[in-house]
């Protein structure tokens, strides 16, 4: 029971921190704001997290596990599904919203080799490596370069969507990225099988 209560408290603090970071950014957030949002004491906060920086690191590192596509897929389809699922869930997931807000302040709390850009690049590259092995991605494509390009494009799309539509059109912007990119990197047979339909990333 103590372990379950501790896990609930830790999750409560993490969610409160995500909400505060999403609203205020890293510099504008404080441990006091986070504990007030969580309805807990500073002692409870410091029992689970040593600092505001530790909370921000946990939120950034947890991003990929919060983006589980609805449908099982591998290779190129999985890369597509991950980005579109992220774009859709970002609209109301406080952890993903915090990650989007924290992206420009990461030097304050996480080492460069661990930052979210590298993290997401590795996630996409894992799928593209398999896709190239399965002849879904053209042989001459540099997977690492394309993975960085996808992450950069999605990051830019998120920032512009935030300014122009409150992120409401972010899924469509990400779909446009793939509509341009897929004919360049995908083999003709793979291109015929791929789906960008909203049923893959949005529950009915």
**Alpha helices per DSSP H over 29-142:** 31-38, 42-48, 52-61, 75-89, 94-102, 116-133
Using the predicted structure, report yes or no on whether residue 167 has a pLDDT greater than 80. yes
pLDDT bucket at 38, cuts 50 / 70 / 90:
very high
Tell me: the pLDDT tens digits for 59-76? 999 999 999 999 999 999
Does domain 64-200 fall into CATH 1.10.357.10?
yes
∠80-69-177 over CA atoms, to 5°?
A: 20
Class of domain 2-58: mainly alpha
Q: Give the model's pLDDT for residue 197.
A: 93
Angle between helices 2-28 and 31-38 (to 10 degrees): 140
DSSP secondary structure letter of residue 202: S
Tell me: the pLDDT tens digits for 89-148? 999 999 999 999 998 899 999 988 888 999 999 999 999 999 999 999 999 999 999 999
**What residues contact 104, with CB distance under 8 A and at least 6 apart?**
none
Q: Give the model's pLDDT for residue 204.
A: 62
In the chain, where are the structural domains located? 2-58, 64-200
pLDDT bucket at 54, cuts 50 / 70 / 90:
very high
Interior/surface letters 146-167, b for 16+ CB within 10 angstroms, e for the rest: bbbbbbebbbebbeebbeeeeb
């Amino acid at each position: 029971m103590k372990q379950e209560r501790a896990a609930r408290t830790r999750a409560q603090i993490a969610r409160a921190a995500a909400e505060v970071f999403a609203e205020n950014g890293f510099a504008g957030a404080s441990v006091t704001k986070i504990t007030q949002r969580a309805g807990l004491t500073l002692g409870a906060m410091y029992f689970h997290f040593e600092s505001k920086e530790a909370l921000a690191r946990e939120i950034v590192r947890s991003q990929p596990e919060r983006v589980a596509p609805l449908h099982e897929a591998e290779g190129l389809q999985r890369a597509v599904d991950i980005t579109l699922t992220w774009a859709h869930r970002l609209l109301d997931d406080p952890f993903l919203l915090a990650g989007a807000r924290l992206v420009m302040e990461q030097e304050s709390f996480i080492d460069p080799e661990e930052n979210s850009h590298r993290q997401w690049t590795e996630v996409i590259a894992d799928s593209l490596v398999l896709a190239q092995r399965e002849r879904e991605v053209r042989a001459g494509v540099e997977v690492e370069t394309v993975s960085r390009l996808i992450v950069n494009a999605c990051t830019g799309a998120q920032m512009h969507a935030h300014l122009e539509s409150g992120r409401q059109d972010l899924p469509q912007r990400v779909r446009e990225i793939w509509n341009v990119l897929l004919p360049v990197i995908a083999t003709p047979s793979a291109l015929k099988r791929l789906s960008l339909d909203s049923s893959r990333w949005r529950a009915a």
